[in-house]
């Protein structure tokens, strides 16, 4: 009985570790470049929705305020200037 409990506990720890590693890798770096023609659009990202590192956040999905001037998201090419507050250059 003792070895069965140990085996189950080991399996649960392994499953949790795998899930946590997958979540960490999903937020651990920049967003992948889209398959469509895109441009970076600064100043329009919502909290936690930026696509890459900023001066105040460490990686994608970690911006701390809406519309931060240094936070950007990928948008289809030619649309950033049509978004209120959008800029293709960091200000």
22-58 pLDDT per residue, tens: 444 455 677 888 888 999 999 999 988 888 877 777 7
Q: What is the pLDDT of the chain when averaged over all its residues? A: 77
Residue 70's nearest CA partner among 84, 87, 20 is: 87
Same domain, 24 and 46: no
- Verify that 39 and 77 share a domain, yes or no: yes
81: three-class secondary structure by DSSP: helix
Residue 56: how many CB atoms within 10 A of its CB? 12
Query: Cβ-count burial of 22 within 10 angstroms (0-12 exposed, 13-18 middle, 19+ buried)?
Result: exposed
Domain count, the chain: 2
Residues 82, 49 share a domain? yes
Q: Is 14 helix (H, G, I), strand (E, B) or coil?
A: helix
Full domain range(s) for residue 12:
1-29
The pair of structure tokens assigned to 85 is: 């507050």
Are 16 and 3 found together in one domain?
Answer: yes
Both 53 and 11 in one domain: the answer is no
């Amino acid at each position: 009985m003792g070895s069965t409990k140990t085996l189950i506990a080991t399996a649960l720890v392994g499953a949790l570790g795998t899930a946590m590693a997958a979540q960490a890798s999903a937020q651990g770096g920049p967003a992948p470049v889209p398959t469509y023609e895109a441009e970076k659009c600064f100043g329009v990202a919502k909290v936690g929705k930026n696509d890459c590192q900023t001066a105040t956040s460490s990686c994608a999905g970690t911006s701390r305020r809406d519309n931060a001037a240094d936070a950007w998201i990928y948008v289809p090419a030619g649309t950033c200037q049509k978004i209120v507050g959008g800029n293709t250059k960091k200000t």
